[in-house]
Structure 1
Amino acid sequence: MEIRLDGRVALITGGSKGLGRAMGEMFATSGASVVLAARGAESLETARAAIAAKGGEVHVVAADVATADGCKAAYQAAVDRFGRVDILVNNAGKSNTAPFASIDDATWQDDIDLKLFAAIRLTRLAFPAMCERGWGRVINVLNTHAKAPGPRSAPTSVTRAAGLALTKVLANEGAPHNVLVNALLVGQIDSDQWTRQHAASGTNLTYAEFLAEKGKAIPMGRVGRAEEFASVACLLVSDAGGYVTGTAINVDGGRTPIT
């Protein structure tokens, strides 16, 4: 089955690298007009050029979606360029974990602003028009700690769990209008976060060996690929995924103990 997104407009936050860039490439090469939002103009341009070289239609906007103004700028850039937003992927975020007692108010607030309020603000901008048109898709990219938090997993696990609740609220409100809202929960997937961890680890292992070690704890025996994650997202935002809403899908190779 070929998944097509012809005529759709997608806005993806955290779109310059990793999973965001992979989704942007897959959506664009599947026929969507794509807007990538992130803070770094240089990395955005690199992503734009790479996707455009494969025939995709892509526009980029440098915006910090941890702020209300940044959310407005990202959304307005998509509307100004393509007239609307049909597909919103709330992907901006980073892994931020520490022992609970060591996390101060500023760290909590930063995490909430980036991972929760960005999704709230952007969806609030896009959701009403989606409902009016009778078609829309929202994906909240979370991680598996949202379902199965462990020690030293805050603040990420807490803000991501709130993202699960937001997903369900929006799914119930959007369903009568054919606006479908789902969450994708990231496990261990090869991305720029892992390259940074490898660089900071001081290990003598090559990057491939580093990933192979990480993969030993996963039932499938390997770390996932960004394009595998993007494929699931592409299905959910297409007409082929038209009866799936309010779900939280683990993309983790079977590692999470909770379905």
Structure 2
Amino acid sequence: MKLLDKRGTNVMQKISTHRPGRQGFSSTNCKQKWLLHGEKPFKQGLDLGSIASRRFPNCAQSPSVQATSLFRHLLQKLTDPPSAIQTYAVRVTGNAGRDRKLQTLPDDVQTILIDLSLDMLGYGRPEISCPAGVQLEESRFFSSLGNTYDERSTARNVLIEEREDWRKQMNKSLQVALRDVRNYVYGEKDGVYQWIKNSRQKRGEEREDHGGLDPNAAMLQSAVNNPTRLDLDTYIAMAIYC
């Protein structure tokens, strides 16, 4: 669907040239510093942005899969002792969860993790993340979104809506990552205390490293890349996913 301004110009074409996230899911998109603030056992002042900048995500993965991987990495470093993070869960709205022994991840901790990921997606500019607190007439970014105020406002509203959609996805990624970390074991191996994964977890994360595709999705992708080699199993996979 085309989004047109009053003169019939396709606004989405204008937005695409300024759309945040053109570097993908990357710390190079970040516009803010991200220091952890929380009560014990969370590490006060931990520089989450610095930790994220030392990771090199697989660009073949979707942003949601990359975010899950990053969240797993960060969660293992958030608390002292490290294993304390395993007593927490990210709750789905309106659902207390099945394991009542788990604590809800504090709002300030959850918020900073989600906002960091949105900043890495390119949605960290105050014009998008905190639109009410920005003098738009003085913003170069806002000025770059169109030729008229109406065009710029329409484009910015699209970006704000996109940010909210991504927030929901990042929340799901954080929930999955914390569930994964709860299933790790923090213990001594080769004389060093570290996080230890079982073989099933290793296989799952290795699959993510190859694009996050399960077998049927991988089969479908192969069919798209090699259309002359379709077989019965591939047709079944296509029926499932299409």
TM range (shorter): under 0.3
Instruction: Give TM-score scaled by structure 1 length.
Output: 0.26
Instruction: Give TM-score scaled by structure 2 length.
Output: 0.28
Q: Structure 1 or 2: larger helix share?
A: 2
Larger Rg computed on CA atoms: 2
Q: Structure 1 or 2: larger strand share?
A: 1
